[in-house]
Structure 1
Amino acid sequence: MSAGGRGGVRATLSGLTTRGRSFLAAGIAAAVCAYVLGQDDLLRVGLLLAALPLLCAAVLHRTRHRVTAERGLAPARVPATGEARVRLRVDNVSRLPTGLLMLQDRVPYVLGPRPRFVLDRVEPGGHREVSYRVRSDLRGRYRLGPLQVRLSDPFGMCELTRSFSAYDTLTVLPRVEPLPPVRFGGEALGHGDGRQRSLALAGEDDVIPRGYRHGDDLRRVHWRSTAKHGELMVRREEQPRRSRCTVLLDTRAAAYEGAGPGSAFEWAVSGAASVVAHLLERGFSVRLLTDFGVTVSGEGGSGHERAAAAALMMDTLAVIDHSDGADLAGAYDVLRDGHDGLLVAFLGDLDGGQAASVARMRRRGGAVAFVLDPDAWTREPTAVPEPNAPLPQRLRVLREGGWTALGVPRGASLEELWRQADRERPGPAALSGKARG
């Protein structure tokens, strides 16, 4: 990136320091006195005093177009509380050395104080490199830059501040907690109990082939299709049915209280990210669903597909914010269309009607709900909970609907709740009975 900004002689003269203005004023005053008194020596001194700051300003005005800079960010995506390193490089592409350089990079306050560096003169064709670290406890997408460079001449007569136009973006992902492998309602490795065998069992001609991939067994080569397509084709003999899961995240602003890294909403976002990463790693087809019906889907297939799906969902969760919705009708409409498989929900405060609506969301397959109690997250740890708290009633409504429902106290560990949900899940007989009901 190259420096830019307001140009012209007026802009350059406005950068004169107190020293430069004093020299200029003294030179003009000495020249006027020399003219009045007829002193040629004093006139020479005055001209020298006035010319020095103007000469420094002219040199600095030319130098500002000859300084380039670039920024490197590694990595560009970090988890919350993780660190990224920012590298700044300044090059002098002119034939003259620069004066003192002062760098200041603009960063959001959540990433720390603005970094400032002072660089000594840079020789013609030379460069200088500096670096700093940024860290955030709060997920989000943050803009780094633009970089500001303040140039100063060796005599301190003039200073010019110029901004560079380029910037970089740092994405801070939600924290992901490793989870143990459990079985709520699908195969442990992301495949259902049944497998769709050969796509066509009627005969050799009905086999649907695919292109040869490195590592395929040569005994599966379909020679007739190979001759037809002009490339090596193999039989697609079996296509496993991948288990599916929907992760529902309640983002209603009215369902949560408090803000910051330790708030209930941030715990819910981190929990949804942990479940998404865990199930994609185990081969599930995962769909991320919000209370207003927005979905993001990904396949946990090969390593590349899994990484792409995880990156897409983590980027979505990094910037997700509260919604203005009053209920979960949008999510209910999406789930009503039919989606078998596991359903994992992270829910905020629920009233009686909302709890009943969530209870009807469960379809065939396991359903797990983590309900965050707003009272437990806002009161002091030593405070006694209310005797008639509504959370047990909401959990009972969900359990009667076939859910494995758990309350989430303040600062709870998702790993422990995940194991507890596995222990408390209803048996197959209970699930089938509730499904018929």
Structure 2
Amino acid sequence: MSGGGSARAGHEGTPERGGLRTAFGGLTTRGRSFLAAGMAAAVCSFLLGQADLLRVGLLLAALPLVCVLALHRTRYRVAGSRTLSPARVPAAAESRVRLVIENVSRLPTGVLMLQDRVPYVLGPRPRFVLDRVEAGGRREVSYRVRSDLRGRYPLGPLQLRLSDPFGMCELTRSFSTADTLTVVPRTEPLPPVRLGGGTPGYGDGRHRSPALAGEDDVIPRGYRHGDDLRRVHWRSTARYGELMVRREEQPQKARCTVLLDTRATAHQGAGPDSAFEWAVTAAASVAVHLLQRGVSVRLLTDTGASVPGPDGTGGTESADAAGLLLDTLAVLEHSEDAGLSAAYDALRGGNEGLMVAFFGDLDDEQAAVAGRIRQRCGAAVAFVLDGDSWLPGPGGIRFSAGQVPVDERVLMLRKAGWTALPVTSGTTLPALWRCAADHAGAGPDRPAQSGATAGGRA
């Protein structure tokens, strides 16, 4: 899922042509030198009275001008397409970009130079030199792109550089379309453990909800278009005077909310090795792991934004839901919110099943809000990041002014009912995941382990 994404092709069409002034602006150093030498020779011919020198000067000046006019009137009809395979890749993985150039005119082309625009984080700008392309011919070239930073990066537009045989002039013509490469967070495989014991939001819940197939219910409902006529409840039909059918049930799908703290004040540092990027990667791994187990997963941030939205859109299949969540996490940035109140307001709808939260720095007020969030879910697991351990310094420890140590944050959350674990730099998510299951199964009275032991610190 994380490395998925089907290949995409973007048809570039015919490159745009510039005006005559643009064509003269494409004179190379050689062309400008010839033009200057010709003008100097013409001036010297008048001063010295040498007619032969004038003819030489006119020849030198006319050559680059003729090349500019000929290249400007060149009507190459070239079509191009770009294919990304895959179009969605995890961070630090490569994607292959294939360019196809077709000469759709009746005349052969000269030497063509291709250049594709790519952001600097994806690598150097690719350039290719194509020899003469015959009428109706095609050429294929490819290159690879790679990024350690998640995000969406534009590829293109493709640029086509034309030059004359003498090297006097070069014109650049750009295609009009571009494609997008999505770099999603990496995901780690997690052990198949059970969190929260027999909570209804995770595992094999036995709660049932109305659907179109399953066991009978004693309460009928009104007939809907497409209902099987064999399910008509005739006694209720005669009683209510309208066609009624027997309600049917199916097992309710387990639910999980992944809460990600994106506050800029809660995370220190930046870059692919920062604490915030670890939290984004961990949230993606947990979401994909639970989706593969058939759990309905919702991503919630401290701003109150959730994916899928309140209407539940986002795909019913596990692959569709995972793709939507990963695409959202690919462009997730720090928020300017100061607290978690917006996330608590988004959870006022009732029991949220399992809650898996990734918190940064929490003060007393935000720990109290997290305690109220705990009351809105069946089981709650919190991973509290120690941002100081990710900062450079002696031993990786550098407390900020007014910051609550990670052990106190974990203790506050455990008192509120969370299964809380500290996370330091170098910890592995699979070990934390298994340790969280051990803590949840043992109950809140189990003594806490140290951060290095609980997290499997390297």
1:73-118: CA deviation from partner (whole Å, max 9, x where unpaired): 1211111111111112223333443333222211111111111222
**Structure 1 residue aligned with 2:188:** 177
Q: How does 1:388-407 map onto structure 2 within 5 Å? A: 390-407=405-422
Using the TM superposition, give the Cα deviation of residue 148 of structure 1 relative to its aligned residue in structure 2, in angstroms. Answer: 2.1
Q: How does 1:242-281 map onto structure 2 within 5 Å? A: 242-281=253-292
- Retained in 1: the 8 A contact 2:389–2:396? no
Using the TM superposition, give the Cα deviation of residue 71 of structure 1 relative to its aligned residue in structure 2, in angstroms. Answer: 1.7
Distance in 2, matches of 1:195 and 1:424, equals: 29
Distance in 2, matches of 1:94 and 1:21, equals: 31
Distance in 2, matches of 1:132 and 1:381, equals: 42
The equivalent position to 2:92 in structure 1, one of 60, 63, 81, is: 81
**Structure 2 residue aligned with 1:359:** 371
Report the AA paired with residue 425 of structure 2: R
Q: 1:129 to 1:429 in 2, by over 3 A?
A: closer
Q: Which runs of 5+ in 2 are unaligned?
A: 1-11, 233-244, 447-458
- Retained in 1: the 8 A contact 2:304–2:343? yes
1:338 matched to 2:354: no
3-state DSSP class of the match of 2:282?
helix
1:174-210: CA deviation from partner (whole Å, max 9, x where unpaired): 111111112213479854123358575338x769789
**Structure 1 residue aligned with 2:326:** 314
Q: How does 1:78-157 map onto structure 2 within 5 Å? A: 78-157=89-168
Q: 1:330 to 1:206 in 2, by over 3 A?
A: closer
Using the TM superposition, give the Cα deviation of residue 223 of structure 1 relative to its aligned residue in structure 2, in angstroms. Answer: 4.0
Q: 1:261 to 1:383 in 2, by over 3 A?
A: closer
1:298-319: CA deviation from partner (whole Å, max 9, x where unpaired): 899xx96211111111111110
- Retained in 1: the 8 A contact 2:221–2:246? no
- Retained in 2: the 8 A contact 1:371–1:405? yes
1:238 matched to 2:249: yes
- Retained in 2: the 8 A contact 1:4–1:65? no
- Retained in 2: the 8 A contact 1:402–1:426? no
Distance in 2, matches of 1:195 and 1:393, equals: 40
**Structure 1 residue aligned with 2:9:** none
**Segment drifting more, 187-196 vs 9-18:** 187-196
- Retained in 2: the 8 A contact 1:105–1:145? yes
Q: 1:94 to 1:44 in 2, by over 3 A?
A: farther
Distance in 2, matches of 1:81 and 1:392, equals: 33
Question: Alignment length, in residue pairs?
Answer: 411
Using the TM superposition, give the Cα deviation of residue 398 of structure 1 relative to its aligned residue in structure 2, in angstroms. Answer: 1.0
- Retained in 2: the 8 A contact 1:248–1:346? yes
Using the TM superposition, give the Cα deviation of residue 49 of structure 1 relative to its aligned residue in structure 2, in angstroms. Answer: 4.1
1:287-339: CA deviation from partner (whole Å, max 9, x where unpaired): 11100111113899xx9621111111111111010001111011111223323
Q: 1:64 to 1:72 in 2, by over 3 A?
A: farther
Q: 1:294 to 1:196 in 2, by over 3 A?
A: closer
Compute the TM-score of the two structures, normalised by the length of structure 2: 0.79
**Structure 1 residue aligned with 2:453:** none
- Retained in 1: the 8 A contact 2:339–2:366? yes
Report the AA paired with residue 288 of structure 2: A
**Segment drifting more, 313-322 vs 115-124:** 115-124
**Structure 1 residue aligned with 2:218:** 202
3-state DSSP class of the match of 1:70?
strand
Percent of pairs with identical residues: 63
Q: 1:289 to 1:206 in 2, by over 3 A?
A: closer
Distance in 2, matches of 1:19 and 1:196, equals: 79
Distance in 1, matches of 2:428 and 2:346, equals: 30
Distance in 1, matches of 2:84 and 2:31, equals: 38
- Retained in 1: the 8 A contact 2:257–2:352? no
Q: 1:209 to 1:281 in 2, by over 3 A?
A: farther
**Structure 2 residue aligned with 1:326:** 338
3-state DSSP class of the match of 2:270?
coil
- Retained in 2: the 8 A contact 1:24–1:50? yes
3-state DSSP class of the match of 1:63?
coil
Q: 1:348 to 1:270 in 2, by over 3 A?
A: same
Distance in 1, matches of 2:144 and 2:359, equals: 35
Distance in 2, matches of 1:390 and 1:24, equals: 73
**Structure 2 residue aligned with 1:373:** 386
3-state DSSP class of the match of 1:113?
coil
- Retained in 2: the 8 A contact 1:371–1:407? yes
**Structure 1 residue aligned with 2:362:** 350
Using the TM superposition, give the Cα deviation of residue 248 of structure 1 relative to its aligned residue in structure 2, in angstroms. Answer: 0.2
1:410 matched to 2:421: no
- Retained in 2: the 8 A contact 1:63–1:94? no
- Retained in 2: the 8 A contact 1:200–1:207? no
Distance in 2, matches of 1:53 and 1:379, equals: 59
Q: 1:379 to 1:54 in 2, by over 3 A?
A: closer
Using the TM superposition, give the Cα deviation of residue 237 of structure 1 relative to its aligned residue in structure 2, in angstroms. Answer: 4.5
Q: 1:389 to 1:8 in 2, by over 3 A?
A: closer
3-state DSSP class of the match of 2:206?
coil
**Segment drifting more, 137-146 vs 289-298:** 289-298
Distance in 1, matches of 2:44 and 2:267, equals: 76
